[in-house]
Amino acid sequence: MSNLKETLYRELELKIITGVEGISFDPLIFQHLGLGGQYQEDIHLCFEMAHETHVKIQFPVGFYSPHGLVYFLRWDRRSSYSIIHEGGVYYLAHHGKVIFPVEFIERPNYYGLKTSDGTSMATIASYSQEGALVVAYSNECALKEKDHDCKFCNINATKDTYGEAEGIGWKYPKQVGETVAAAYRLDGARHLTITGGFVAERREVEYYLDVADAIKAETGLEDFNGTACVGAPHDLGIIDKYKEAGYRTIATNIEIWDRNIFKAICPGKEQQCGGWEHWVKALEYEVEVFGRGKVRSNIVAGLEPKDSTLEGVEYLASKGVICFATGWCPNPGSALEGHRSPEPAWHFDLYKKIAAIHRKYGFTYEEIYDCYATPILPIHDIYRIEDELLPVFNAQLV
């Protein structure tokens, strides 16, 4: 079993490397794959995470390592890692040398359905693997009106680039309710995150309440295991309403722990949303309302010193908040496009230390699963390797 864990950690290290450096390939390589049929295509519901744009060219959403880790597929023609196609088989390669054959992720059943108003369900809720769904209700952020976008974010650029081409836009509560019900029924989905760009505070809370009502009506579930990903409201009492509406967990992303770097990188959150101190107070109040392990935040890893990020994770964990640190991708269209994220080893070390902090404070895998929108991050993988939760461990016992 120890040898299996060592193998999985090597595959995780490679996952982090290809996430930071991207993967090169000829976009035409997937023309015979069956995207939109057997295999799940990438749909831009919030951000472009590839290192360059690709309007009207579909890519797979990701693939599996030989032992079951999910890799992201981030296109970058400069990368020394590539996807190649030989003899009808796809491979991950490095400098042209094959590393392992690639198994792409199959498309969920509900992607082939439409809502009652004729909208493709694939554009309403993204399947983010392991039974988790993400609804990006707003594909743009109002902070741009005063040029206060977060410097690392490309949500508005993504909407401008892909909105018309992919038919994505505002999601209505009934559309969300119908899509979630279909995914829960047909694909065994069991967790949902509602997120989006910055909108007026009153409009945000009213929308989330309407969506919760629609989901409960369509699924018949009072507890639909939903996470409301929201900004820090000026009136912290509004947080109670999300709990009353039926959301099991809540997320408020502070993005940067160093308060001075926060001011520079997140000018809108600083000037329009109460500033760093208010965001921390909001997270602490959310724990009072939702409970320990039911509140999540995120730091964009690589925009501040590692020690600062770890200080934030440790502080928030001590207050009952599960804080992730997702690797910074210098997204196309963001103010920081063209910059460099830290080296993969920097990120791998950070993830291991964050997982250790979470374990120190007693957070379980199920808690970190319920709190985050995409349950296939390296921190999830570390938990699943250490706790032997991956299917490959069951196969090993047979």
- pLDDT surpassing 70 at residue 378: yes
Chain center to CA of 337:
19
SS3 84: strand
Answer yes or no: is pLDDT of 1 > 90. Answer: no
Angle at 290 between CA 46 and CA 320, to 5 degrees: 90
* Cβ-contact 334, 389 below 8 angstroms: no
Name the residue with tokens 């809502």: 115
Higher pLDDT, 395 or 148: 148
Whether residue 200 has pLDDT greater than 70: no
For 324-363, the three-class secondary structure string (H helix, E strand, C coil) is EEEECCCCCCCCCCCCCCCCHHHHHHHHHHHHHHHHHCCC
- φ, ψ (nearest 5 deg) of residue 234: -60, -40
pLDDT of residue 201: 64
What are the tens digits of pLDDT across the range 290-315?
Answer: 999 999 999 999 999 999 999 999 99
Q: Which domains does the chain have, with CATH numbers?
A: 2-104 (no CATH), 109-395 (3.20.20.70)
pLDDT band at 338; cut points 50, 70, 90:
very high
Contact 193, 132 (CB under 8 A): yes
Q: Which residue type, as a one-letter code, is found at position 234?
A: H
Over the stretch 117-130, which tens digit does the pLDDT of each residue have?
999 999 999 999 99
User: How confident is residue 396, by pLDDT bands cut at 50, 70 and 90?
Assistant: low
Average pLDDT over residues 259-267: 96
Kind and range of the H or E run holding 100: strand 97-101
pLDDT exceeds cutoff 70 at 398: no
φ/ψ of 219, rounded to 5, equals: -95, -25
CA distance 398 to 386: 19
- 139-183 pLDDT, tens digit each: 888 888 888 999 999 999 999 999 888 877 889 999 999 999 999
CA distance 297 to 167: 30
For 314, the token pair is: 């440790």
Q: Any idea which of 157-171, 263-277, 356-370 has the lowest mean pLDDT? A: 157-171
Are 146 and 88 spatial neighbours (Cβ–Cβ below 8 Å)? no
The rounded distance, in Å, linking the Cα atoms of 23 and 19 is: 8
The helix/strand/coil state of 235 is coil
Rounded distance, CA 323 to CA 257, Å?
11
Distance CA 183, CA 131 (A): 9
pLDDT at 45: 82
In this model, does residue 371 exceed pLDDT 90? Answer: no
> If pLDDT is split at 50, 70 and 90, which confidence band does 391 have?
very high
**Closest to 378 in 3D by CA, of 13, 47, 81:** 13
Q: What is the Cα–Cα distance from 313 to 355, expressed in whole angstroms?
A: 10
HEC profile of 294-328: CEEEEEEECCCCHHHHHHHHHHHHHCCEEEEEEEC
Dihedral angle of Cα 51, 57, 61, 66, to the nearest 10 degrees? -90
User: What one-letter code names the amino acid at 135?
Assistant: V
Per-residue model confidence (pLDDT) at position 397 = 53
Closest-CA residue to 54 (of 30, 32, 19): 30
Q: How far apart are CA 327 and CA 344, in angstroms?
A: 9
